[in-house]
Amino acid sequence: MPTALITGITGQDGSYLAEFLLQQGYRVVGMVRRTSTVNFHRIAHIQDEVELVSGDMLDQISLVHILEEYRPDEIYNLAAQSFVQTSWSQPVFTGEVTALGVTRLLDAIRIVDPAIRFYQASSSEMFGKVREVPQRETTPFYPRSPYGVAKVYGHWITVNYRESYGMHCTSGILFNHESPRRGLEFVTRKITHHVAQIKLGMADELRLGNLDARRDWGFAGDYVRAMWLMLQQETPDDYVVATGETHSVAEFLDEAFGYVDLDWHDYVVQDPRYMRPAEVDLLVGDASKAGHALGWEPNVSFAELVHMMVDADLEMLRDGGTAL
């Protein structure tokens, strides 16, 4: 039974990847950081099937000890300070976790067992002010936030360990992917959660920033499959994972409010607090390399994704649940 270590297992992608790897017959070890309150809600349903170990991307010793103890065959590095807006108010922290954290983990692998296969969660935010449409593996990077800059570092240090030490290091350049488990601060989940609240009479407005930004939004469950496929290849490489479709925030609003027969113009208020110092205006990926090399393609359409998220938020609120 192969062993996989997931950093960031308590996050959106970590929870879907853990489910997927368990189904593939893996022993799944998840690294969690110490918090004063337990935040395992996304993995509560599989907590008995995974092994959780305490560690932190800021603490190299903890990473070395985890590798020595669990001897993973594959490592999926999903841990990050992943919220773009926060990266302006905490740029150094974002760099420590999202950029230097990658080096700490890569060097722990190099020291303990350089044969471990490594996946780095790179991001379409690296393309930022895009140099080419659609964006592909060869498109030059132009990050627009401290988060994007940190991810560029994480991407290149992954390439560098591959080239310097011959390690099996792969970088997945994933475009936005969402789900009912998406954090409430991200625009898609913020919208679907408010749609459900408004529909149920629990809220009467939704405050947002830039409605013109365009993103290539896919379903997280589809994207974790691509991560696994990448590590099954004999040769490590870099892959774009995307749907190839782009939609504005306003189009997301149309789809989400329209689904419950509401008009978003009656509820949405633009609030400068949610505008960013520098914006990424247009992202749309070309995943043809992942298509032919990995046999990967997305299964969930944009409309299906939005409806799935609205339905999940409606169900959760009707059941009297609190937002995950």
Residue 179 interacts with ligand F7E (CB under 6 A): yes or no = no
In whole angstroms, give the CA distance from residue 239 to residue 166: 18
Token pair, residue 236, equals 């490590």
- The question of whether 315 is a catalytic residue gets the answer no
- The question of whether 36 is a catalytic residue gets the answer no
Under 8 Å between Cβ of 215 and 247: yes
The distance of closest approach from Cβ of residue 244 to ligand NAP in the complex, given in angstroms and rounded to an integer, is 16
Residue range at the interface with ligand NAP (CB under 6 A); choices 7-15, 131-139, 159-167, 311-319: 7-15
Which residue, 67 or 255, has its beta carbon nearer to ligand F7E?
Answer: 255
Cβ count near 302 (within 10 Å): 19
Candidate residues 12, 94, 139, 246; the one interacting with ligand NAP per rule CB under 6 A:
12
- The question of whether 125 is a catalytic residue gets the answer yes
What is the footprint of ligand NAP within residues 77-116 (CB under 6 A)? 78-82, 97
Residue 176 interacts with ligand NAP (CB under 6 A): yes or no = yes
Catalytic residue among 26, 147, 223, 259: 147
In whole angstroms, give the CA distance from residue 129 to residue 143: 7
Residue range at the interface with ligand F7E (CB under 6 A); choices 47-55, 79-87, 129-137, 299-307: 79-87
In whole angstroms, give the CA distance from residue 61 to residue 64: 5
In whole angstroms, give the CA distance from residue 52 to residue 143: 33
In whole angstroms, give the CA distance from residue 266 to residue 208: 13
Residue 117 interacts with ligand F7E (CB under 6 A): yes or no = no
From the list ligand F7E, ligand NAP, none, pick the one residue 215 interacts with, judged by a Cβ distance below 5 to 8 Å according to partner type.
Answer: ligand F7E
From the list ligand F7E, ligand NAP, none, pick the one residue 19 interacts with, judged by a Cβ distance below 5 to 8 Å according to partner type.
Answer: none
Residue range at the interface with ligand NAP (CB under 6 A); choices 33-41, 204-212, 259-267, 308-316: 33-41
The distance of closest approach from Cβ of residue 231 to ligand NAP in the complex, given in angstroms and rounded to an integer, is 15
Binding mask 85-104 for ligand F7E (x = CB under 6 A): x-------------------
Candidate residues 170, 176, 179, 192; the one interacting with ligand F7E per rule CB under 6 A:
176
Q: 38: buried, middle or exposed (CB in 10 Å: 19+, 13-18, 0-12)?
A: exposed
**DSSP letters of 186-247?**
SHHHHHHHHHHHHHTTS-S-EEES-S--EE--EEHHHHHHHHHHHHTSSS--EEEE--S--E
Candidate residues 120, 124, 139, 192; the one interacting with ligand F7E per rule CB under 6 A:
124
From the list ligand NAP, ligand F7E, none, pick the one residue 56 interacts with, judged by a Cβ distance below 5 to 8 Å according to partner type.
Answer: ligand NAP
The site for ligand F7E, by CB under 6 A, has a size of: 23
Taking phi over 0 as left and psi of -120 to 50 as alpha, with beta for the rest, 48 belongs to alpha
Q: Which of 226, 228, 242, 239 is nearest to 159 (CA)?
A: 239
Residue 173 interacts with ligand F7E (CB under 6 A): yes or no = no
In whole angstroms, give the CA distance from residue 4 to residue 124: 25
In whole angstroms, give the CA distance from residue 177 to residue 90: 23
Q: Site residues (CB under 6 A) for ligand NAP? A: 7-8, 10-14, 33, 35, 39, 56-58, 78-82, 97, 121, 123, 174, 176-177, 183
Catalytic residues: 123, 125, 147
